[in-house]
Amino acid sequence: MNDTISTTTGAPDMTALQLEVAEQIVAALNLEMTASDIEADAPLYGEGLGLDSIDILEVALVLSKRYGFSLRADNEDNVRIFASLASLTEYVAAHRTL
Amino acid sequence: MLPTPPLLHAHPDAIVAWRAGHPVTRRVFMAHAAQVADSFPPGRHLLNACHDRYRFAVTLVAGMLSGRVNLMPSTYTPEVVRQLAEFAPDTFVVDDGVDAARHPGLPEHRFPDALPSTATDADTLLALPPEQLVSWVFTSGSTGAPVPHPKTWGKLVLNTRAAAQQLGLNTGERDATTAGTSVGGASAAITVSFWAKAPPTTPTARSLSQTPGADGADLPPFTLIGTVPPQHMYGFESTILLALQGGGAFVAERPFYPADILATLAATPGPRVLVTTPYHLRTLLAADEAKPPVELLISATAPLPPELARQAEQAFAAPLLEIYGSTETGQIATRRPCADARWHLFPGIQLEDRDGTTWARGGHVETPVPLGDQIVLEDSEHFTLQGRGADLINIAGKRTSLDYLNHQLQHIPGVTDAAYYMPDEDHGGVTRLAAFVVAPGVTRADIVAALRERIDPLFLPRPLLMLDALPRNATGKLPRDVCKQLLAAHHAGRSGRSPQ
């Protein structure tokens, strides 16, 4: 279970960084939902949020600008990093320079 | 036309590919192809699903050498895979373990893990007859059944040679006529003659001179680095056939992120050609990493905005050439948008206007075909592109038609009426489709799940609006301005209900 950091808009089980990342996903992809609608552990690909490889590149671009790192991945890593909002946020937290 | 071998590299030690930074020679490539061909099950049709570009190329040549036909569908949805199995019941899938779950229902043949690293001198280049069928390439059609288009070896060779010539990469034929004349150690003289650059100083032989490859072989005259999959026509022609029939090499890896692509470019020796799309170029230019200079940029699948073309030429210090083509015709024209907005037809290709539709014929075009775009003929060799046909959809380089998507959507059980809508594109990013659906008692999630079975995920609607009825006009049409209003009303916050 992730630390619960109280925010005014976030879902109760979302960390502040998760919410921030979720907000950028929603904005970058014009998704029909709010950031707090994205479940931390639900898959981002396919049946979950329904993101495809085009989306992943868009999200990667936005996150790299915001947090100052470049995603470098072979295929397997890519699937793992984008498995869920939680795993993506974990990756951001570990690699951010901004 | 004479029979032509799959590879035009004159010397058995010529480099055909780079795998993880290591060169693969023609001799080794052909040994791998022979071994893979021996490993195939008896079926005469194969679905080449290899993710790695080298394994794809070896599988392709192995299929050609053993008289098998390569099936190239536009997408790999369960419905399409089922239709392929119907089209050719002896089809088997060759995959390399990446995305292996994407084609259930067809027998799987795993690309061999262990291949010989060296080859004997038994390297022979078997010439294949021009009439040999190499591939069936499928378009989505408009009624739900994929439409097959034959690709024979002779036409593919003609097409690739014309492309190489138009792109200034026509070293292969020179190689073929100067077999065995490669001389390492001479001064730098690349026989690649790009449009924007001075003609080569010694245009007689493949006299490349940079540092030799790791095994002592000369560097290839050019190396193709692709951001597009080899499973579709553009990637098939411009990252595989162009190397095989142009005497050059290709990089096996499929770098995904901008940083990966730029690192692969920087690590590739010799003259580099980036084969990409407007979509990938945009993300590459937005990346912070330094852009390594390349010899040539190639873009296709959609016209490049002029400003993006200019930025790309500047960032990579290279000319950018665009290719125009279609699944049915193959590649038929090129242009350098920074120099001339007009498209320059390949030799032998003729366009003609028939009742407002432009048809292509001649050259490597198998049978005359109508083009989906609005084209204005300037003269016998040039045309300008005025826009896409109203029915054509192109999202991040993947193409389909509104007819096809509407057919798929309308045939989902429970759907009583439905229509796709392509909003006006802005150049900020990738524009997605919207859809309006009338389906009493069916949930939006059910419809999305059913669509996922049938169409490529890129064409899943965002948003999918559930309505009580579609406001069709007296002729049963759903005019664009009505769709636009529906979508605007939705975006303004009135989601889920008919605005009527």
**What's the domain range around A81?**
71-98
Q: Whole-angstrom Cα distance, residue B346 to residue B447?
A: 44
Q: Whole-angstrom Cα distance, residue B384 to residue B397?
A: 20
Q: What is the pLDDT of residues B254-306, one digit of tens each?
A: 998 999 999 999 999 989 999 999 889 999 999 888 999 999 999 998 888 88
- Per the CB < 8 Å rule, is B257 touching A60? yes
Which of B387, B410, B434 finishes a domain? Answer: B387
Nearest to A72 among B259, B448, B452 (CB): B259
pTM: 0.84
With an 8 Å Cβ cutoff, is A97 touching chain B?
A: no
Residue B498 lies in a domain: no
Work out whether strand B69-72 and strand B45-48 pair parallel, antiparallel, or are unpaired. parallel
Q: Whole-angstrom Cα distance, residue B336 to residue B78?
A: 39
For residues B317 and B404, membership in a common domain is answered with no
Find the range with the poorest average confidence among B117-126, B217-226, B389-398, B477-486: B117-126
- Per the CB < 8 Å rule, is A50 touching B288? no
Output the average pLDDT for chain B.
85
Residue A94 lies in a domain: yes
For residues B163 and B55, membership in a common domain is answered with yes
- What's the CATH code of the domain at B445? 3.30.300.30
For residues B148 and B227, membership in a common domain is answered with yes
- What's the CATH code of the domain at B31? 3.40.50.12780
Tally the domains of chain B: 2
The band of B182, judged by pLDDT with boundaries at 50, 70 and 90, is very low
Find the range with the poorest average confidence among B145-154, B177-186, B456-465: B177-186
Which residues have C-beta within 8 Å of that of residue B477, sequence separation ≥ 6? none
Residue B91 lies in a domain: yes
Of residues B191 and B100, more confidently modeled = B100
Cβ-based neighbour number of residue A14 at 10 Å: 26
The band of B394, judged by pLDDT with boundaries at 50, 70 and 90, is confident
For residues B135 and B151, membership in a common domain is answered with yes
Give the mean pLDDT of A6-18. Answer: 67
Q: What is the pLDDT of residues B297-318, one digit of tens each?
A: 999 988 888 899 999 999 999 9
Residue B358 region, left (φ>0) first, then alpha (ψ -120 to 50), else beta? Answer: beta
Chain B residues touching A78 at Cβ < 8 A: 256
- Per the CB < 8 Å rule, is A64 touching B283? no
With an 8 Å Cβ cutoff, is A30 touching chain B?
A: yes
> How far does A3 lie from chain B, in Å, by closest CA?
31
pLDDT at B64: 97
pLDDT at B302: 83
Sheet holding B417-421, edge to edge: B417-421, B434-438, B464-466
Of residues B185 and B235, more confidently modeled = B235
Q: What is the pLDDT of residues B333-376, one digit of tens each?
A: 999 999 999 999 999 999 999 888 899 999 999 889 999 888 99
**CB of B219 closer than 8 Å to CB of B208:** yes
Cβ-based neighbour number of residue B20 at 10 Å: 9
Q: Whole-angstrom Cα distance, residue B48 to residue B34?
A: 16
For residues B334 and B458, membership in a common domain is answered with no
Tally the domains of chain A: 1
For residues B83 and B185, membership in a common domain is answered with yes
Q: Whole-angstrom Cα distance, residue B310 to residue B315?
A: 9
**What's the domain range around B374?**
15-387
Residue A59 lies in a domain: no
Residue A58 lies in a domain: no
Q: Whole-angstrom Cα distance, residue B6 to residue B3?
A: 10
- Per the CB < 8 Å rule, is B395 touching A54? yes
Q: Whole-angstrom Cα distance, residue B470 to residue B468?
A: 7
Q: Whole-angstrom Cα distance, residue B432 to residue B398?
A: 12
The band of B202, judged by pLDDT with boundaries at 50, 70 and 90, is very low
For residues B364 and B409, membership in a common domain is answered with no
Residue B201 lies in a domain: yes
Beta bridge partners of B322: B299, B335
pLDDT at B195: 37
Nearest to B463 among A32, A72, A75 (CB): A32
Q: Which helix (H) or strand (E) covers residue B326, if one does? A: strand B320-326
Residue A6 lies in a domain: no
The band of A3, judged by pLDDT with boundaries at 50, 70 and 90, is very low
Complex confidence, ipTM: 0.78
Cβ-based neighbour number of residue A26 at 10 Å: 18
Taking chain A, what is the end-to-end CA distance rounded to the nearest angstrom?
Answer: 26
Residue B1 lies in a domain: no
DSSP letter (8 states) at residue B475: T
